Structure 1
Amino acid sequence: MNSFLKPIMKSLIAPAIPGGIITIFIFYLDYFQFALVEKFLLFAAFVIAPLVISLLSHDEGNKLQRMVFAAIKLFQFPAALLALASVASNKTWGLGDTYIPGVLSLGWLLFTLLLCIYGVTIIVIHKGKIAEIAIGAGLVYFFIGGAWFTLYQYQVNLFQANPATHALSSVHFHFSSAIVPLFIGMLGRIMAKKSWYPWVVAIDIIGPILIAIGMIFSKPIEYIGVTLFACNIVIYTSYLLTYLRKNPLHKKAAFFLVLSCLAFYTVVVLSIFYPLLKKTLSLTILDFIPVYGTLHAFGFVLCGLIGWVYIADSIKKNRLPSGSVREPIA
């Protein structure tokens, strides 16, 4: 048994394993009668967050960043448990008519605030470095996702948006707005500098804001934001696949990053053929939402994060191939 557990404990993704086990229970046990959107939010809390933390380290010379990083590592799992308790108190324990779900959600909001503060320190420390701005912005967006989650748990109607919209906005910021800037920032750390890269980062930062505004106030603005954001992911995945073909990176990293890209293109293909599938198979958008969500969350996001965790470890150990950018992780 010890020989079996030893390599698991040494794995780079070991911090996400306990949360992964809990997530499996959440998705498959009848006890957790949660909506699909809530299950994906808890998946972000238990699995995505620790993998994001694995991408980060701190500057020993910066006391604030060192303290915030220590707090992030310490508080992630308790915050995820509080998020689980918040959803369970609403859907399983029959406390939905009280303030308890909202109060419990504040734990996750605090954790995402710590990520936000850490993201700001990255931007301040690495002044002018576009890749670091992208990574910092991604961490800031986690806080916006945490705020939407708290609004959802308090069942607050904000502007023209109802709690269901808050839940969707929270998922959007946990799985797209926060993660894609991280991916593009990590790519910027290893790629040869390109003139188009700052524009990709700029659109990547603006796109989620347009989507969020559009979801509440204006569908045309949402469509513009979604289009810009999707085009950015196409650029990211296309360049990444080309980079992986030309550069001998860690085999595990390459494997997971290719899976991530393929998952995204599968979503694109399904979206293109959705009208035909809807007509021939009598399917509705409700039938496709679980498919889209699974491909995006478990394919594009999870596999992408695992791949970048392996590459981040290579950067830390200065094991990237010659010609690649070797920068300290922050």
Structure 2
Amino acid sequence: MKPLIVRTIPGGIITILIFYLDYFPFNLVEKFLMFAAFVIVPLVIGVLRYDEKNKHQRSIFAAIKLLQFPAALLALASVMGSKTCGLGSTAIPGTLSLGWLLFTFLLGIYGLTIIVNRKGRTEEIAIGAGLVYFFIGGIWFTLYQYQFDLFQAKPATHALSSLHFHFSSAIVPIFIGLLGRVMTKKSWYPWVVAVDIIGPILIAIGIIFSKPIEYIGVTLFACNIAIYTTYLLGYLKRGSLLNKSNFFLVLSCISFYTIVVVSICYPLLKNMFSLTIHDFIPIYGSLHAFGFVLCGLIGWVYIIDSLKKLTKKGVS
């Protein structure tokens, strides 16, 4: 765990400063994008594994580990250029964002190598697809920083699409894939993976072109997360996973169910306290980013690290 902690602490400190210092006049979406770049992606790297015999995959993985933090700094410089330095009307923020785009491209390439080298194993396809979605998130981030109007969508929509692909679209398939690595395979598991891969595309298309398509994608995706969290909680209760990770994984599941409860109660709370959807966005975002995603990744990192230690002891 120590190398991973060393990688995430600087990014964590930067993220805290971004959220709490007025020096960073970022909107909430930009803050969460920086959180993804500095904290979420390093944790994702911590749960990845590569084939020691595959030199190309090993080289790409080494490049990903080396370039993550510099690429995140370029993403931060890109947003600061448009927000703090008054360069929003120039191409400089967009040019700086290319560093993050190229890094997510590497993640996407690595995801494809996982899919190809694992020869059709469903859980690995899910993890590989999640990494490819990071690249799509990088594309949307660059479009946002260049302030392009693509498909008649405003740049703010590009920012939301980038956030969608950096969090839900990328993380949920990775979670499903990690669960698939440790669970006894069920007949329904490939269907869950398929929906996890198709759902984000439907949501992204819906955001730009059609609200009904977006609603269908969100519903399918939410049902999949419900299946994942329900099965995971049952798995944890049986003690099938390592106890050290239980605390964070349970928090992750509870965060998801809290989001569901808040969503169901939204109409009532809105009328009782004169709240708007904008009042709920920070609540939804925090529960999803810090609760479901962050706690879930920490839990899975603990599991992967413990399994590696057990494997080494078995070999020795």
**TM-score range for the pair, normalised by the shorter chain length:** over 0.9
Give 4+ residue runs of structure 1 displaced > 4 Å after superposition.
Answer: none
Deviation, 1:14, is 3.4
Q: Which residue of 1 aligns with 2:38?
A: 46
Asked if 1 retains the 8 angstrom alpha-carbon contact of 2:153 and 2:208, the reply is yes
Q: Which of the residues 149, 152, 155 maps onto 2:147?
A: 155
TM-score normalised per structure 1: 0.93
* Contact 1:13/1:51 (<8 A) preserved: no
Render the CA deviation track for 1:100-147: whole Å, top value 9, x for unaligned: 000000000011000000000000000120000000000000000000
CA contact (8 A) 1:79 1:111 kept: yes
Name which of 131, 140, 158 aligns with 1:139: 131
Query: Which residue number in structure 2 is paired with residue 98 of structure 1?
Result: 90
Moved more, 51-60 or 22-31: 51-60
When normalised by structure 2's length, the TM-score is: 0.97
Aligned counterpart in structure 1 of residue 110 of structure 2, from 115, 118, 121: 118
1:206 aligns with 2:198: yes
Which structure carries more helix by proportion? Answer: 2
Equivalent position SS for 2:133: helix
- Which residue among 2, 5, 11 is the counterpart of 1:19? 11
Q: Which residue of 2 aligns with 1:89?
A: 81
2:288 paired residue number:
296
Question: Hey, what's the Cα distance between the residues in 1 that align with 2:277 and 2:178?
Answer: 33
The reply on whether 1:226 has 2:222 as its aligned counterpart is: no
Any idea what SS the aligned residue of 2:310 has? coil
Paired residue secondary structure (1:318): helix
CA contact (8 A) 2:235 2:241 kept: no
In the alignment, which residue of structure 2 is the partner of 1:67?
59
Measure, in 1, the Cα distance between the counterparts of 2:95 and 2:148: 13
Amino acid in the other structure paired with 2:34 = L
Q: Per the alignment, in what secondary structure is the counterpart of residue 166 of structure 1?
A: helix
User: Whole-Å Cα distance in 2 between the matches of residues 11 and 248 of structure 1?
Assistant: 27
Determine the structure 2 residue equivalent to 1:3. none
Output the amino acid matched with 2:114: I
Aligned to 1:323: none
Aligned length: 313
Check the 8 A contact 1:12/1:309 in 2, yes or no: no
Aligned partner of 1:169: which letter?
S
CA distance in 2, matches of 1:306, 1:195: 28
Distance 1:125 1:315 in 2: 21
Q: Secondary structure in 2 aligned to 1:297?
A: helix
Do the aligned residues in 2 keep the contact of 1:160 with 1:217 (CA within 8 Å)?
Answer: no
1:172 aligns with 2:164: yes
Q: Secondary structure at the match of 1:188?
A: helix
